[in-house]
Structure formats: structure tokens, C-alpha cells
Amino acid sequence: MKTINEDIKNGTFKQVYLLYGAESYLRNFYRKRLCDAAVPPEDTMNRGVFSGDAVKESEIIDLAETMPFFSERRLISLTDTGLFKNAAELLPDYIRKLPDYLILVFNESEVDKRSRMFKAVREAGYAAEFADQDEKTLSEWTARLLSKAGLKISQSDMHLFLSRTGPRMGNISLEADKLINYCAGQTSISKADIEAITGDRVENRIFDMISAITAHNRKKALDLYADLLALKEPPMKILILIARQYNQLLLIKELQEEGNNAILIQKKTGIQNFIVRKCMEATRGYTKRELEDNVRFCVRAEEDVKSGRLSDRLSVELVISEFS
């Protein structure tokens, strides 16, 4: 990101950029900044746009070979083309000999770093990965959004807010806008405000269900499962999420037993800090052996569903009953 900011500031651009990774909000933000700085948005004659995996390499090259019209640059913006996952035949070689006037900006959610396309961009231009941001960065960014609206938020309430929005900045931005409108006329945000306006993610309900299981509260766990079914969540998805949560609990339990604290666990796993803390609390109710047994039970349940020995709905009920 630093390189892109410097290029925009100095007005000196590389001929090809690749913005990739899970954090689409940041990717799109920097794609727009980069493209608008290279060729003004009103200059539609010298801006080309391609989107989706149906794009043909020959069409990109044909436009790239077209000289700019009363401008020193031609810009081509390409989004989720799939060219960095599938075998690109023409573009890898073409990228190594681009016309001086041309700037290509690729914006891809997934890439294969072993591909010829990725290697060609790395050699000829610049590739920037936009991964999920850590909790500190998200907290500071969110606090700035709220502060601009004259709202303050405590650290504990910020943890709650992020646990309900998830780590993706696009969703955080949408939920922050809703919260700002809801709290108009206030100077601070409370826990009640957050719970009233932000959606309760499926992952949170799964975690609540696991908390109920850990507390041996089978009725509450089954009630939460019924709530998820009422929300039209597929039982197989719920089973997979339960398995993922127990895998995560086992990993964190192992790291705890090795003497790692929450900060070290977050650094080693890349799991968001507020999730690590919630998992560390949950692991107190389990031994490592119990977590290993639960992970194996989830694997067998999934295999039973796929083989037709159990229905998906019954498999989840059995998992809940067994674990609680």
C-alpha cells in the first residue's frame, strides 16, 4: 500500500499493478485511487474496464495496443478475471513488453502465486496483498469513522461491535453507518446500541451454541440450533461451522499449553484477537483429549451425512447431544 500511495503522490506509475487478497474493501479503495490518479475518471476515451472470468486475453491486448487519445496514458482496469488462477496463455509474455503509455490494474480476490501471470506482474510491476486486517487496525479505523460523527466508544464495546460484524471492512463500514444513524444526537455508543442495530452473525450463534454445550446446557444448545434452522441455515453448514470451531479451540488449547498468551496466539494463527480471547475462555471447559475426540466426532458425522447413513439435520442433533 505504501508503494501505491507513493506512486500516486509522485505521479509516477508502474505499468502493471496487481491488488489481491481477502480484504475487498481495501482492494477496491486503492484500485479507485490508483486508477483515478493515473487517468481522470472523466477521460472515458482512455479508460478501459474488464470484469469477470469471461474476458478474453486477445480483447485486453487489442485495447492495450490502441494508442491513447490526446493523453499520455491509457488505463485498463480488470477485476476478478481469474487469469491468475487459470492458465493465461498470451498475457504473461505481453506484460513483460507493455507499451510505454499503458497502465494495467488487476483487482483479484484469488491468485495462484505460482502462475505465470503472477510472476510476470511481479517482474514488470507491483503486486500488493490485501489480507484481513488485525484487530488493532480495525479498532482504530472504526473509531475514526465513529469519531467523525462525534461518537465515542469504549474498548470493550468496540470488541463487541467487531465480534458482531466480523473482520471485513466493507461490512464494518455498513454496520458503522447504521450505528451512526441510530445514535444521532448522542455523544457515545453503548452496548445496548450495538446489540440493537448490528446483526447477530451465524458464527456468533454457533459460538453461543458451543458455549451452551460446554456448560452442559443441552436445552439451550438445541434451542439455538432450532433458531438457526428457523433462519434457513443449512444443517450441513452448521455442522461444518461446529467442526471449524472445535478445530480452532483445539489449536488454541495446544498453543495455550505451550505457554502462549493471547497476543502470541493471535500472531501465530492470524485469528482475530477478540476471537482468540473468546476461544481461550471456552477451552477452560475442555481437556485437550476431549477437544480431539470432538473434532474426530465431527469428522465422522460429516462422513455419515455424505455417505447417506445420517440425515444432515439429525447429525447436528447427535453432535450437540454427544458434546453436551
Percentage of residues of the chain with pLDDT beyond 90: 66
Range of 66's domain?
Answer: 2-129
Which range among 89-103, 145-159, 203-217, 250-264 shows the weakest confidence by mean pLDDT?
A: 203-217
Which range among 30-39, 193-202, 258-267 shows the weakest confidence by mean pLDDT?
A: 193-202
C-alpha cell at 265: 496466539
Same domain, 170 and 264: no
Same domain, 173 and 206: no
pLDDT tens for 51-62 read: 998 899 999 999
Q: How confident is the model at residue 102 (pLDDT cuts 50, 70, 90)?
A: very high
Q: Tell me how many domains the chain contains.
A: 3
Same domain, 314 and 228: yes
Q: Which strands, in side-by-side order, build the sheet including 126-129?
A: 47-51, 74-79, 102-108, 16-20, 126-129
Contact call for residues 15 and 125 (beta carbons, < 8 A): yes
Is the model's pLDDT at 116 over the cut of 80? yes
Q: How confident is the model at residue 271 (pLDDT cuts 50, 70, 90)?
A: confident
Q: Which residue has the higher pLDDT, 199 or 13?
A: 13
How confident is the model at residue 10, as a pLDDT?
Answer: 94
Same domain, 87 and 19: yes
Mean pLDDT of 79-95: 92
Same domain, 141 and 71: no
CATH of the domain at 251: 1.20.272.10
Same domain, 50 and 144: no
Is the model's pLDDT at 82 over the cut of 70? yes
CA nearest to 183, candidates 141, 157, 155, 146 = 146
Same domain, 188 and 306: no
Same domain, 207 and 319: yes
- 122-142 residues labelled b (16+ CB within 10 A) or e (exposed): eebbbbbebebbebeebbeeb
State the Cα–Cα distance between residues 213 and 321, nearest whole angstrom.
8
Domain end residue (candidates: 114, 129, 144): 129
